[in-house]
Amino acid sequence: MGYRVVVAGATGNVGREMLNILAEREFPIDDIAAVASSRSQGDEVELGDTGRMIKVQNIEHFDPAGWDIALFAIGSEATKVYAPKFAAAGCTVIDNSSLYRMDPDVPLIVPEVNPGDIDRYRARNIIANPNCSTAQLVVALKPLHDAAKITRVVVATYQSVSGAGKSGMDELFEQSRNIFVGEQAEPKKFTKQIAFNVIPHIDTFLDDGSTKEEWKMVVETKKILDPKIKVVATCVRVPVFVGHSEAVHVEFENEISAAEAQRILREAPGVMLVDKREDGGYVTPIECVGEFATYVSRVREDPTVDNGLAMWVVSDNLRKGAALNAVQIAELLGRRHLKKAA
């Protein structure tokens, strides 16, 4: 016996990745529906590489009654309309947008980090998926926090264009092609040229000079990991198609060596330590694409602060940053609460 699962936004980058991961992880499915906006009605999407094609239904007319879990990848505006309807019908929503992340009645979950928080999901029948850059960060930080208690985190991100959706990927491709043939590379999706460039600006600016993306990393890390941790982030868009990277500097209350941190990270759930301290002995975004793990490299002691470490963290943002984490939440929900699968 399995679950009746809805994938909302099934024709987008994250929605398609959700379908792939449901198949790859052999999530117990009795029935599956793909829904999207009216523009995609009648299109077909494949459930991973199974050969099973699913006809896309219009979310406006879809009846969620009798369905168990809905994986949402439709953006905040549409989520605001449809998530309460699905939740009220008894279908638990696992939402990839930012809409509910800081709602005190909605658990914000990374299964390797705070699985127990999912027990509060019944208040709204909605569970939030964190920002992609936050998800990989807290997976790496959690085991170190347990060992030596983190007090402060300084992080600079190197975020791929897939975080901005298909239009971001298209813009990088088109600008790169245009530059090679001597044509103009005018920005449309991004505020400046992204090809062969980096842009220290993701989402809107706030009054204090930070961006909303940076604010998300701060408040989400606190909610997921520990509200006492001080966090500052600089989020940068880079000309990489898939895979987010982060340079992370961490300060601890208690002493911890690089060797001890490596030992802890080597055994940590969801983490793959690749830290050979030689040419190529680290992971870059290209190598993480299509992988489930959060990769940690370049672990070293920071001599500028007491009890400080620096490290490099890389993950496939469409997977752990979005689709994989959502499916892992569904698995956790099944194990702890729904318990329909054998």
Catalytic residue ranges: 132, 244
Q: Which of 157, 160, 181, 156 lies closest to 172, judged by CA?
A: 160
Strands 69-72 and 53-58: unpaired
Instruction: Kindly provide the residue ranges of all beta strands, DSSP E only, lying in 263-320, ordered along the sequence.
Output: 271-273, 294-301, 308-315
Q: Any known ligand binding at 14?
A: yes
Q: Any known ligand binding at 75?
A: no
Q: Any known ligand binding at 101?
A: yes
CA distance 184 to 177: 10
Q: List all residues 6 or more positions away from 277 whose beta carbon is below 8 Å from its beta carbon.
A: none
- Identity of residue 112: E
Q: Any known ligand binding at 168?
A: no
CA distance 84 to 103: 14
Q: Any known ligand binding at 98?
A: no
Q: Which of 292, 287, 296, 233 lies closest to 266, judged by CA?
A: 296
Describe the chain by its helix, strand, coil percentages, rounded to 5: 35, 25, 40
Q: Cβ–Cβ contacts within 10 Å for residue 1, how many?
A: 8
Q: Any known ligand binding at 263?
A: no
Q: Any known ligand binding at 193?
A: no
Q: Any known ligand binding at 177?
A: no
Q: Cβ–Cβ contacts within 10 Å for residue 125, how many?
A: 17
Binding residues for phosphate, as ranges, are 101
Binding residues for substrate, as ranges, are 159, 237
Binding residues, as ranges, are 11-14, 39-40, 101, 159, 162-163, 237, 317
Binding residues for NADP(+), as ranges, are 11-14, 39-40, 162-163, 317
